[in-house]
Amino acid sequence: MTAEEWEVLQLSLKVAFLGVGASLPVALAVAHILARRQFPGKSVFDAFVHLPLVLPPVVVGYFLLLLFGRRGPLGQLLDQYFGIVLSFRWTGAAVACAVMGFPLMVRAMRLSLESVDERLEAAARTLGAKRARVFLTITLPLMLPGVITGMVLSFARSLGEFGATITFVANIPGETRTLPLAIYTYTQVPGGDEQALRLSLISVVLSVAALVLSEILARRSVRRARGRDD
């Protein structure tokens, strides 16, 4: 691999990890709300959460540019008060990846949480445990396979994100050029087929490795949970 390809790979991994880490606590909260709460407009809220799955990624990127661009309402606030600029920065690429992978993470966590027996949580609360302790010691360990699956799906989606990223942060070498953008660039350059193929194979290997690791970790967490029940 060339130095440029290593740079692309490192940037892609950094963007994917940051996107997953930033969206994880929000996804947990949203999954808990959708699984355990009833309120007016829940169906609309659920549809809004899953909207990035059905919208063209370019549309998502355009909305992010409108909101977080230098002239956008949120972008101006972040720049003026915190000195944070997301558009045309690698941090903006992480935001785009987080948004596109968010529905996958929420859905996996929600399905896992819905399978947790609420009577176990109620029993713990009757024994005096606070809600936070019940969640950390009972709910979270039982739904851990779903959490792991959601994180891995979001990570894999981040590695393959193209449309929202190129619309929001463009294709800047060394700053926002992740694996998909680099592959696209090499396919447009004479003699770049070899580099495009090499990066494509790397993308496949990373995605397969992430899915295999997810399966291994999920099985281990299930065995641990069954061991505690026994």
pLDDT in tens, 87-102: 889 999 999 999 999 9
pLDDT tens digits along 18-62:
999 999 999 999 999 998 888 898 899 999 999 999 999 999 999
Q: Is 130 left (phi over 0), alpha (psi -120 to 50) or beta?
A: beta
Task: Give the residue numbers spanning the domain of 48.
Answer: 3-229
Question: 3-state class of 55 per DSSP?
Answer: coil
**CATH code for the domain in which residue 108 is found:** 1.10.3720.10
Question: 3-state class of 176 per DSSP?
Answer: coil
pLDDT tens digits along 175-187:
888 999 999 998 8
- Whole-angstrom Cα distance, residue 187 to residue 185? 5
Query: What are the start-end ranges of the E strands in 9-107?
Result: none
- Whole-angstrom Cα distance, residue 196 to residue 89? 23
Q: What is the average pLDDT value for the chain, to the nearest integer? A: 87
Q: Cβ of 39: how many Cβ atoms within 10 Å?
A: 7
- Whole-angstrom Cα distance, residue 118 to residue 121? 5
Number of domains in the chain: 1
Sole residue written with tokens 């505690």: 228
